[in-house]
């Protein structure tokens, strides 16, 4: 799956630039440059510019100290809009129209998602936070010496704070490696974390999971805990979730562990409310993909002519999100020189959110040669956190 990660196709940008600004001292430029060299992949790009510059102005001394604890690299595919054109052309030309949910997350979409996490109906975030809050010391207790915490899809890193604090308390220091597609998010959360935790060191990677994982595999020598929270794995079809976990498994040494947050199967009405909230935030989130297409591909989608719909498919164990055309209509995408026709009630399927039973979680893990060593649920038993160790395949 990641065979091309270091191959020639990834090298469309072969520059290894350090964008220096007057705010940098020679030492810092050299430091950044050395990091860029050590990172050896040509596509690597060390960028310590915006955040550094801003904080430099506010508190020069503190900012200089913090910058030494932060490395931020951008891999070639670290653009949330990557492949949008092709994905839209293909997805909307099909018999059953689809759009990939990864395109929800531009700046606006990521902001709306943060709002979803605060909704009364969206129990996932609170349930997971409850488990983390109660179990973080126990989780950190699984690790003896210095540990690196790698977070896949770190976003704003809010939930991870309890975990970071537990590790800092136990070991005095911690290296945190957040991996996210959004460089802006990484910069902002790194800045906040470094300000709050003086003993924290951050190596942030702006990239897609596949390429980021390949980099972590090369880079990380110390014992690591890989965390993948929020039931993000639910966006994968079950077989894709398994191959994704096999990729994660391939970055793990015998001592490494994986902490996985997965939403559990539950009654349809709870799910329906969680994905179709009263305030209409999830509807805005869903429709944001259309406004994104309008902006980036010169489209003329009328957002009001589509209805947000959450469909619970109990047998398959997933919630589907759709955008349903309220009438028959045509939409023009100028950038693609493409006209799309919609019948009345025709849907664009935009997201799947798979739910797992505890048994299904173990099956999933087993198919990736992972063995569950611990599992925690919230008090309402809606959500699960599981800790896995690599199992040698026989």
- Site for ligand AVJ (CB under 6 A): which residue of 244, 275, 383, 388? 275
Q: Which among 27-35, 211-219, 226-234, 355-363 is the span making contact with ligand AVJ, rule CB under 6 A?
A: 226-234
- Site for ligand AVJ (CB under 6 A): which residue of 178, 212, 234, 390? 234
Q: Whose Cβ is closer to ligand AVJ: residue 72's or residue 348's? A: 348
Least distance from ligand AVJ to the Cβ atom of residue 59, Å: 34
- Site for ligand AVJ (CB under 6 A): which residue of 351, 361, 365, 390? 351
Cα distance between residue 95 and residue 143, in whole Å: 51
Task: Give the chain's end-to-end CA distance (angstroms, integer).
Answer: 22
- Site for ligand AVJ (CB under 6 A): which residue of 48, 73, 78, 124? 124
Instruction: Kindly provide the residue ranges of all beta strands, DSSP E only, lying in 229-305, ordered along the sequence.
Output: 257-263
- For the record, the structure tokens of 213 come out as 């994982």
Count of residues that bind ligand AVJ according to CB under 6 A? 12
Of the candidates 35, 44, 52, the residue with the CA atom closest to the CA atom of residue 13: 44
Of the candidates 196, 284, 246, 225, the residue with the CA atom closest to the CA atom of residue 366: 246
Least distance from ligand AVJ to the Cβ atom of residue 87, Å: 17
Cα distance between residue 336 and residue 89, in whole Å: 7
The backbone torsions φ and ψ at residue 273, rounded to the nearest 5 degrees and listed phi first, read -65, -35
> Any contact of residue 276 with ligand AVJ (CB under 6 A)?
no
Q: Which among 62-70, 159-167, 230-238, 374-382 is the span making contact with ligand AVJ, rule CB under 6 A?
A: 230-238
Of the candidates 222, 196, 216, 195, the residue with the CA atom closest to the CA atom of residue 67: 195
Cα distance between residue 112 and residue 367, in whole Å: 34
Contact 151, 227 (CB under 8 A): yes
Least distance from ligand AVJ to the Cβ atom of residue 355, Å: 9
- Site for ligand AVJ (CB under 6 A): which residue of 232, 251, 288, 386? 232
Cα distance between residue 173 and residue 142, in whole Å: 16
Contact 307, 284 (CB under 8 A): no
Q: Are strands 174-180 and 200-206 parallel, antiparallel or unpaired?
A: parallel
Nearest residue (beta carbon) to ligand AVJ: 353
Cα distance between residue 259 and residue 173, in whole Å: 20
Of the candidates 179, 243, 257, the residue with the CA atom closest to the CA atom of residue 211: 179
Q: What DSSP string describes 311-349?
A: EEETTTTEEEEEEEESS-EEEEEGGGTEEEEE-TT-EEE
CA atoms within 13 A on the CB side of 366: 6
Rg, C-alpha atoms of the chain: 22
Least distance from ligand AVJ to the Cβ atom of residue 115, Å: 10
Q: Whose Cβ is closer to ligand AVJ: residue 87's or residue 335's? A: 87
Q: Whose Cβ is closer to ligand AVJ: residue 124's or residue 136's? A: 124
- Site for ligand AVJ (CB under 6 A): which residue of 109, 178, 230, 317? 230
- Site for ligand AVJ (CB under 6 A): which residue of 157, 353, 384, 386? 353
Contact 261, 384 (CB under 8 A): yes
Q: Which among 29-37, 140-148, 192-200, 229-237 is the span making contact with ligand AVJ, rule CB under 6 A?
A: 229-237
- Site for ligand AVJ (CB under 6 A): which residue of 56, 66, 182, 235? 235
Q: Scanning residues 89 to 118, which ones bind ligand AVJ (CB under 6 A)?
A: 116
Least distance from ligand AVJ to the Cβ atom of residue 179, Å: 15
Q: Scanning residues 131 to 190, which ones bind ligand AVJ (CB under 6 A)?
A: none
Least distance from ligand AVJ to the Cβ atom of residue 21, Å: 35
Q: Whose Cβ is closer to ligand AVJ: residue 128's or residue 219's? A: 128
Q: Whose Cβ is closer to ligand AVJ: residue 36's or residue 119's? A: 119
Least distance from ligand AVJ to the Cβ atom of residue 227, Å: 14
Contact positions vs ligand AVJ (CB under 6 A): 116, 124, 230-232, 234-235, 275, 282, 285, 351, 353
């Amino acid at each position: 799956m990641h065979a091309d990660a270091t191959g020639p196709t990834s090298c469309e940008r072969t520059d290894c630039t350090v964008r220096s600004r007057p705010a940098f001292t020679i030492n810092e430029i050299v430091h950044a440059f050395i990091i860029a060299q050590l990172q050896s992949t040509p596509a690597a790009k060390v960028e310590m510019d915006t955040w550094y510059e801003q904080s430099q102005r506010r508190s020069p001394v503190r900012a200089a100290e913090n910058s030494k604890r932060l490395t931020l690299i951008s891999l070639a595919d670290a653009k949330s809009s990557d492949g949008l054109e092709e994905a839209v052309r293909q997805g909307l030309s099909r018999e059953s129209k689809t759009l990939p949910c990864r395109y929800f997350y531009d700046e606006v979409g990521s902001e709306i998602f943060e709002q979803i996490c605060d909704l009364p109906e969206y129990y996932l975030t609170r349930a997971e936070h409850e488990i983390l809050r109660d179990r973080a010391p126990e989780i950190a207790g699984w690790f003896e010496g210095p540990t690196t915490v790698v977070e896949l899809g770190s976003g704003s890193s809010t939930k991870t704070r309890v975990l970071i604090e537990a590790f800092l308390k136990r070991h005095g220091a911690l290296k945190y490696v957040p991996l996210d597609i959004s460089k802006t998010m990484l910069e902002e959360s790194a800045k906040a974390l470094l300000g709050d935790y003086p003993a924290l060191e951050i190596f942030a990677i702006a990239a897609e999971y596949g390429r980021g994982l390949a980099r972590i595999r090369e880079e990380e020598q110390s014992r690591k805990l890989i965390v993948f929270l929020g039931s993000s794995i639910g966006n994968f079809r079950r077989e894709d979730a398994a191959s994704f976990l096999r990729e994660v498994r391939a970055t793990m040494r015998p001592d490494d562990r994986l902490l996985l947050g997965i939403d559990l199967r539950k009654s349809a009405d709870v799910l329906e409310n969680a994905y179709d909230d009263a305030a209409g935030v999830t509807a805005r989130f869903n429709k944001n993909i259309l406004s994104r297409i309008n902006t980036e591909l010169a489209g003329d989608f009328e957002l009001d002519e589509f209805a947000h719909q959450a469909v619970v498919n109990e047998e398959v164990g997933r919630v589907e999100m759709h955008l349903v055309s309220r009438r028959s209509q045509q939409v023009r995408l100028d950038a693609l020189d493409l006209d799309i026709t919609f019948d009345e009630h025709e849907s664009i399927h935009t997201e799947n959110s798979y739910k797992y039973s505890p048994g299904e979680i173990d099956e999933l893990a087993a198919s990736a040669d992972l063995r569950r060593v611990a599992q925690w649920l919230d008090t309402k038993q809606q959500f699960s956190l599981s800790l896995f160790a690599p199992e040698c395949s026989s």
